[in-house]
Structure 1
Amino acid sequence: MIKKRIAYVTGSRAEYGIVKRLLKRLQEDITLDFSLIVTAMHLDSQYGNTVKIIEQDGFRISEKIPVKLDSQNNQTILTSMAETLDLFGKHFQQNRYDAAIVLGDRYEMLSVATAAAMHNIPLIHLHGGEQTLGNYDEFIRHCITKMAKLHLTATDVYRKRVIQLGESPESVHNIGSLGAENGLSLELPSKERLFSKLNLQNKPYFMVAFHPETITGQSVEEQVDQLLLALDTFKKDYQFVFIGSNSDTHSDVIFEKIKRYTEENQFSFFTSVKPEEYLALIKYSKGLIGNSSSGLLEAPSLEVGTVNIGKRQEGRVRGESVIDVESNRQSIEQGIQHLLSNDFQKRLSEMVNPYYQGNSAEKAYEIIKQFLADENKYKPKRFYDLEKQ
């Protein structure tokens, strides 16, 4: 029997953490020739060389494709995209796959998707149909949707939006978010073990994950300054554990300011941690502060509240556990106070995570297997007009 060749391309710790269980399922399937291709942030020391985490998790890495990442401005980002397109164009020219899988909306994944599509390699897209109006991820995600032939969305709202973009309903499946069930499915370290390994103080803490808004026109410097001023109000009673920013435009500005702040206040800063450690850090915290998608997708499953700052996640579906605030000191302070209130804390266990579905990883695996067996995946797809409904 000829095995179907399928590749997953991973470029960031966040996206890898979401799909880790699905990747294990694909690698363990002896009927598949599965390739894991590692690139971008995973291979950059500035972002923690997280390829080591992937190797420690027992994955066989088929290819490492390093790309120079420079987040100084949009032009340097475009240079990284061009290099990624060239390198993956060559890889897909030399390696024929029956399908390639990408997740989400990062700029390097747009280059990967373009290279695959140009080589007529059927593309499987996770987390399409979502909105993030404060970032260029917004239009990148929809561009990848139009190149993909199979779509695994995280809510029914997103499924309908992908169909609205002209994709056939038969190719769009709402499986929930794999990340939303990870906190309940992965084996997380105990609080004692986590604190010991990461050398954390035994004191109540908040997780902080803050990334740039890249298309709102707001000053990244001012946003970070306002966040840190708000945290100052609570630092006598709480410690703050910071996680490094993604490689978006001006992420270097965030890195420098937060690094200095943590050193001055003796707070913890981690460029990156293992997926299980990140989820555990959220689980044992008083709440997640920032603008990370994990505050909307993963934190609610762990019954942890989120103070979501600014417009980066604007447009995304969210549950009651997410408190939206503006990017200014007063609004952030009020959001944290609301999160800490007895009424909010009592209701957390009853709040529903709109991204959670049981067995999301298994659903994704079964749908992907069916797609690989379908020879129609090589045929050109037609634009689906809503008036046909």
Structure 2
Amino acid sequence: FIMVLQHADTTEHESSYRHMMMTLQVVSASGLPFVVFNPNSDAGSEATSRAVTDFRRDHPLAPMGMIANLEGRLFLRLLRQARCLIGNSSVGIRECAFLGTPVVNLGDRQNGRERASNVRDSPWKPQAMAQALTYQLQQSYAGSQIYGSGHSGELMADIV
């Protein structure tokens, strides 16, 4: 399955509906089941959520699940099992790097953040998004410690 985790970009929140609709169309065209998580509450999130609701209404047979919120450990377990994450959340940059989950990072929201090899960036263009998703669905990545090993608390305690 594919995970969709997409937020409104505060610098272009007026495009939130169109961007989410593009993402859902590309993911649906893959033929794989997908799970869509609610966006954060930034400006434009209402339009992002409305796109999900509208897509679900217009495509009742799409193999699509929706999750409002999930406890951290369960979320990470789901993320580890996903074939790919697509969207523009920092989860794709940070947590997916550690887990080795393939990511299609959409748009500019995560510009300036260091990326591990599991991330493939795509502009908001359906053909580019579809190509990036197709590519990532064929990939397998080892986890990366680009953002740490998960033991920083212990290391700091040893220093103190």
TM range (shorter): 0.7 to 0.9
Query: Where does 1:256-275 land on structure 2 (aligned, <5 Å)?
Result: 256-262=50-56, 264=60, 265-275=62-72
**Higher helix proportion, which one?**
1
User: Structure 1 stretch 313-322 or stretch 208-217: which is displaced more?
Assistant: 208-217
Question: Could you say which residue in structure 2 is the equivalent of 1:354?
Answer: 146
1:231-255 CA deviation, whole Å, 9 max, x = no partner?
A: 23213xx100111100000101111
Does the CA contact (< 8 Å) of 2:14 and 2:44 recur in 1?
no
Does the CA contact (< 8 Å) of 1:259 and 1:269 recur in 2?
no
Question: Could you say which residue in structure 2 is the equivalent of 1:318?
Answer: 115
Does the CA contact (< 8 Å) of 2:9 and 2:44 recur in 1?
no
Q: Radius of gyration: which is bigger?
A: 1
Shift of 1:352: 3.0
Question: Could you say which residue in structure 2 is the equivalent of 1:214?
Answer: 10
Normalised to the residue count of structure 2, the TM-score between the two structures is: 0.88
Shift of 1:229: 2.0
Question: Could you say which residue in structure 1 is the equivalent of 2:75?
Answer: 278
Shift of 1:308: 0.3
Cα distance between partner residues in 2 of 1:356 and 1:321 = 16
Q: Deviation above 2 Å: which 4+ runs of structure 1?
A: 259-266, 361-364
Cα distance between partner residues in 2 of 1:232 and 1:284 = 19
Shift of 1:363: 3.9
Cα distance between partner residues in 1 of 2:14 and 2:115 = 23
Shift of 1:288: 0.7
Question: Could you say which residue in structure 2 is the equivalent of 1:289?
Answer: 86
Normalised to the residue count of structure 1, the TM-score between the two structures is: 0.38
Question: Could you say which residue in structure 2 is the equivalent of 1:226?
Answer: 22
RMSD across aligned C-alpha pairs, in angstroms?
2.0
Residue among 20, 37, 62 paired with 1:243: 37
In structure 2, runs of 5+ residues without a counterpart are none
In structure 1, runs of 5+ residues without a counterpart are 1-204, 371-389
| Corresponding residue SS for 2:116 | coil
Shift of 1:318: 0.6
Relative distance call for 1:283 and 1:358 in structure 2 (3 A) is closer
| Corresponding residue SS for 1:219 | helix
Does the CA contact (< 8 Å) of 1:297 and 1:353 recur in 2?
no
Residue among 118, 127, 131 paired with 1:330: 127
| Corresponding residue SS for 2:77 | helix
| Aligned residues between the structures | 156
